Structure 1
Amino acid sequence: MIAPRRFLPSIASLRALEALDRLGSASAVAEELALTQSAISRQLQTLETQMGVSLIQRSRKRLTLTQAARDYVTDIRPALHQIAQASMRLQVPQTGGALNLAILPAFGMRWLMPRLPEFARVHPEVTINMATRLQPFNFAAEPFDAAIHFGTGVWPGADRLLLKHEQMLPVCAPDLLLGRPTGDPAALLQLPLLHIQTRPHAWQDWFAQKGIDSPGAVPGTLYDQFSAIIQAALHGLGVALLPDYLAEQDLAMGRLIAPFGPAVEMDGAYYLVWPQDKSRHAPLTLFRDWLATQAQPEDLLPR
């Protein structure tokens, strides 16, 4: 039996509350939902009346959520995602089912996307819906059947398939090294180095593998995504330590050079990860079996 109506607010009012929590202002909510601010205010008032709980703090024409409302949004947000996903599947016929997949933006674009046409050719009946996520997340809180993520392969309550070990090499624009010695990895300590936020110790680990003593934390500028650090390297702002799959295209076209040796295997790898209760989901099974043919062997040699 479905719960009584008083426990089932309208989707419109829940969307308004969720958007206010995420965006922080009624004007931004009104713009996103294509409504007036007064309409947003009425929806929130209706929700408060129905729930019998104060959800909004109103001061100087600014709306903020109470702690109870923030906790409520945390609980309902996954449900709103699930309703949206179910509605999309209902409206878009999918004879072979759908796979909702979270991907890392850089790995997804450069490694996965070039391979997907083959999967589409072999399994045209399966629809893959993708969304990017930079940080690990809880499958119970997000409507994904699987995720492609970077890590050590440990994800509680989930199984995994190794896709690719992390192999990194320093690259830079050719002009950055004009008049400078090349080939000696230690010379990098005298150059501006670019850091990626998700790999804070990458340069330290790379120097250690080369047998080079670095003075503790390696100084340099910090970027939050590989797309940004690649652009910085292309424009001569410094040397970037990149995964080999991200550098190969620019290296082949001569926009970047790698004069400090071949790629070095680092800690961590890319995995397909899925909740154990989704293991028999038919689209996931087809995708997982196909992806295994594209993956790197579990034991990479030489190590």
Structure 2
Amino acid sequence: MRARRFIPSLSQLLAFEAVVRHQSVTIAAKEMNLTQSTVTRLLQNLEGQIGQPLFVRERKRLVPTDAAKAYCADVSAALNMIQRASMGLMTNPDGGALSLAVLPTFGTRWLAPRLAPFLQANPGITVNLATRVQRFSFDTESFDAVIFFGQANWLRANHMKLFDEHLTACASPDFLRRHPISTAAELANLPLLQLETRPTAWSAWFEGQGANPPAKSGMLMDQFSMMIQAAISGLGIALLPDYLAWAEIAEGRLRPVLRPSVSGAGSYWLAWPEAKDRYGPLRAFRNWMAQTEAPEEVTA
């Protein structure tokens, strides 16, 4: 059994989190649709239960202590988890919800267009998607699984490999008319668009071309969608995974540069916390992903 004295009421925790976030009882009370005196009483009761002060008063403002800030981070994560669980139950009471963190462009350009067959085959399951670029901990984020790029090294998680990444350098037709390219060495003085999460991608591409990468680089971006648009606008050469390059090449917005489909430096993985290994919606999603074909390589 859980010790009740270590579990404050939900009203106390909501009031505490709101006051820490706003550093104002007045704003927190308005957000919660309560009176200021009620919020103040909830804070006092929480401090009494915890056994130590959580705020200091400075110029009529409540300033959380360092211990309170750390406590609030854990409380906020727990409240988010409760909210996600409640939303999942409310939206799908007879099935289950799968909360999945995905890379932004991967989610919109590859995963989302393929989800319909999975949902049709599993009518009781709701899939909730949220984008994450940086790594996070399953201990503080209430996701059931994550799709990420790199190596199978997510902390305290099980992994399933989805597919390897293959890279194709692409530029707009107008850019290539202005800068004809017949050898890798000719890229030395051209802007090579960079992605924050792929610091070694261009090195892998040049190695695949049998050449050394130049020291000069181009604009740095945090998402492939921005890189694609920059390349279409003629700002430089984009290095894209094949599943993204295919559509742009097929529609004539971009053209491949030199040898296409060079092996990249990582793979796409599905990872999930060990405690979720037998969770029904996640098991169904893993089985479906295992049968989903990897993207085709660019061949021209």
Q: TM-score range by the shorter chain?
A: 0.7 to 0.9
Answer yes or no: is 1:3 the counterpart of 2:3: yes
- Who is 2:241 aligned against? 243
- Who is 1:274 aligned against? 272
Query: Deviation string for 1:56-100 (max 9, x for gaps)?
Result: 355457665321012112322331122112211332234232222
- Who is 1:146 aligned against? 145
Compute the displacement of 1:222 (Å).
0.9
Structure 2 counterpart SS, 1:236: coil
Structure 1 counterpart SS, 2:135: coil
Q: Is the 1:99–1:145 Cα contact (8 Å) retained in structure 2?
A: yes
Q: Is the 1:172–1:258 Cα contact (8 Å) retained in structure 2?
A: yes
Structure 1 counterpart SS, 2:288: helix
| Structure 2, unpaired ranges of 5+ | none
Q: Is the 1:196–1:225 Cα contact (8 Å) retained in structure 2?
A: yes
- Who is 2:160 aligned against? 161
> Could you tell me how far apart the structure 1 residues matched to 2:238 and 2:38 are?
46
> Could you tell me how far apart the structure 1 residues matched to 2:15 and 2:226 are?
33
Compute the displacement of 1:138 (Å).
2.0
> Could you tell me how far apart the structure 1 residues matched to 2:187 and 2:38 are?
55
> Could you tell me how far apart the structure 1 residues matched to 2:170 and 2:162 are?
23
* Closer/same/farther in 2, CA of residues 20 and 181 from structure 1, 3 Å limit: farther
- Who is 2:223 aligned against? 225
Q: Is the 2:92–2:126 Cα contact (8 Å) retained in structure 1?
A: no
* Closer/same/farther in 2, CA of residues 20 and 163 from structure 1, 3 Å limit: farther
Compute the displacement of 1:199 (Å).
0.8
Pick which of 69-78 and 118-127 moved more.
Answer: 69-78
Structure 1 counterpart SS, 2:108: helix
Q: Is the 1:30–1:37 Cα contact (8 Å) retained in structure 2?
A: no
* Closer/same/farther in 2, CA of residues 221 and 20 from structure 1, 3 Å limit: farther
Query: Deviation string for 1:225-268 (max 9, x for gaps)?
Result: 22222222222211111111122222211112223221211111
* Closer/same/farther in 2, CA of residues 187 and 278 from structure 1, 3 Å limit: same
* Closer/same/farther in 2, CA of residues 284 and 39 from structure 1, 3 Å limit: farther
Q: Is the 2:165–2:267 Cα contact (8 Å) retained in structure 1?
A: yes
| Structure 1, unpaired ranges of 5+ | none
Q: Is the 1:30–1:40 Cα contact (8 Å) retained in structure 2?
A: no
Superposition CA RMSD, Å = 3.2
Compute the displacement of 1:296 (Å).
3.5
Structure 2 counterpart SS, 1:286: helix
What is the correspondence of 1:49-198 to structure 2 with a 5 Å cutoff? 51-59=50-58, 64-198=63-197
Aligned residue identity for 1:282: G
Compute the displacement of 1:9 (Å).
3.6
Q: What is the aligned-residue identity percentage?
A: 45
* Closer/same/farther in 2, CA of residues 63 and 234 from structure 1, 3 Å limit: farther
> Could you tell me how far apart the structure 1 residues matched to 2:208 and 2:56 are?
55
Pick which of 85-94 and 245-254 moved more.
Answer: 85-94
Q: Is the 1:184–1:260 Cα contact (8 Å) retained in structure 2?
A: yes
* Closer/same/farther in 2, CA of residues 292 and 58 from structure 1, 3 Å limit: same
TM-score when normalising by structure 2 = 0.84
Q: Is the 2:55–2:64 Cα contact (8 Å) retained in structure 1?
A: yes
> Could you tell me how far apart the structure 1 residues matched to 2:220 and 2:282 are?
36
> Could you tell me how far apart the structure 2 residues matched to 1:284 and 1:14 are?
30
- Who is 2:283 aligned against? 285
Pick which of 48-57 and 242-251 moved more.
Answer: 48-57
> Could you tell me how far apart the structure 2 residues matched to 1:37 and 1:215 are?
64
- Who is 1:205 aligned against? 204
Compute the displacement of 1:273 (Å).
1.2
